[in-house]
Amino acid sequence: MYKIVSIPGDGIGPEVVAGALEILNRLSQKHGFEIVVEEHPFGGASYDLHGEMLTDETLEACRNCDAVLLGAVGGPKWESLPHEHKPEAALLKIRRELGLFANLRPAKVYDALVEASSLKADVVGGTDFIVFRELTGGIYFGQPRGYDENKGWNTMVYERYEVERIARIAFEAAQKRGGKVTSIDKANVLEVSQLWRNVVHEVHRDFPEIELSDMYVDNAAMQIVRNPKQFDVIVTGNLFGDILSDIAGMITGSLGMLPSASIGKSHALYEPIHGSAPDIAGQNRANPIATIASVAMMFEHSFCMPDIADEIYGAIEATLAEGLRTADIANTGRSAVSTTEMTAAIVRNLGA
């Protein structure tokens, strides 16, 4: 039995999460495992009900489940709230409270969407790698930080244990994938990167079968757009990962296609990388694939069922091959299907 906490959130969040729950339902019927889903409010939806973006009750539920499925939070209605009440603050809080130290973003190009990439089809076709970004350390959290009239300062700092734990899960992922890890840093300029590099190499001793290479971040940005097929698993710090995972995501096509996982020692949260898309909320036009692919990541990383993850990716691929497109990925002139139609087709392609 798997217990999942669903926090649909705002805007298109509830629409895409509903699609993902249908996928879970079908898989549980097909394979005979039990899934219990408990829904809790989060973000603006929670603020309107309880005056708080993240209540203790929602947080407690997230602590006591096997995986959290999040839609998206935020929207114009809550933008003018003070910083500490904003949806972004609630997102940071939930990640911190659950100790989610690694953010995983796959960059996988579906054959049927090769033409949707900003890169040439022969460059991007067949791309399939994943970025492991350190999420709770580095320059976004380092002290001292601040600014005055004439000076601004931040501190990039990593402790050994922070590098060790993310390096280890990146090597473990590579064992189940193509057996290659690229560690990205700026060790030619930054001392903190020298520590990062040393520790990654130390952890590598436990994974002698994995091929490890180091790459400077400026070169990595170039290599991702020049020859993305060379990568299997990328591991990097918070700041570099923030930038590189966006580049990696965008070469694969649309925002509506990109899943993510945030992983900690004992908790994990799965969410599409897009926001609440207030411009199309409530119109049944959102692309549910990013959230459905986030469920695939859940099977892979939380439930250790990579075969089921592959089944989900296969059903997405088959649906795209049939020519179904939501508006965000439809070429001009091609008619678009709704969120519910896209979901129903993926469920059908999962088979009975």
Interface with ligand NAD, residue 328, by CB under 6 A: yes
| DSSP secondary structure, 24-36, as one string | HHHHHHHHT--EE
| Min CB(74)–ligand NAD separation in Å | 3
242 flagged as catalytic: yes
Helix (H, G, I), strand (E, B) or coil at 298: helix
| C-alpha span between 19 and 319 (Å, rounded) | 14
Give the closest residue to 261 by CA, choosing from 297, 309, 308, 312. 297
| Min CB(97)–ligand NAD separation in Å | 16
108 flagged as catalytic: no
Give the closest residue to 129 by CA, choosing from 33, 248, 24, 40. 248
Interface with ligand NAD, residue 286, by CB under 6 A: yes
218 flagged as catalytic: yes
| C-alpha span between 178 and 155 (Å, rounded) | 35
Interface with ligand NAD, residue 8, by CB under 6 A: no
Interface with ligand NAD, residue 249, by CB under 6 A: no
DSSP 332: T
Q: Which of residues 10-39 bind ligand NAD (CB under 6 A)?
A: 12, 16
279 flagged as catalytic: no
Which residue among the candidates 2, 108, 110, 186 is catalytic per the annotation?
Answer: 186
**Residue among 94 and 199 whose Cβ is closer to ligand NAD:** 94
Q: Which of residues 90-149 bind ligand NAD (CB under 6 A)?
A: 91
Pure H helices in the chain: 13-31, 44-50, 56-63, 87-97, 121-124, 160-176, 191-204, 217-226, 238-250, 289-301, 306-321, 339-350
Which residue among the candidates 66, 128, 140, 214 is catalytic per the annotation?
Answer: 140
| C-alpha span between 29 and 33 (Å, rounded) | 7
Which residue among the candidates 111, 206, 218, 279 is catalytic per the annotation?
Answer: 218
Choose, by CB under 6 A, the member of 19, 74, 106, 228 that binds ligand NAD: 74
Which residue among the candidates 66, 128, 214, 246 is catalytic per the annotation?
Answer: 246
186 flagged as catalytic: yes
| C-alpha span between 271 and 258 (Å, rounded) | 9
**Residue among 66 and 246 whose Cβ is closer to ligand NAD:** 246
Interface with ligand NAD, residue 274, by CB under 6 A: yes
Interface with ligand NAD, residue 255, by CB under 6 A: yes
Helix (H, G, I), strand (E, B) or coil at 130: strand
Chain centroid to CA 3 = 20
Choose, by CB under 6 A, the member of 280, 296, 297, 315 that binds ligand NAD: 280
Total chain residues near ligand NAD (CB under 6 A): 20
Catalytic center residues:
140, 186, 218, 242, 246
| Binding site residues, ligand NAD, CB under 6 A | 12, 16, 72-75, 91, 255-256, 274-280, 286-287, 290, 328
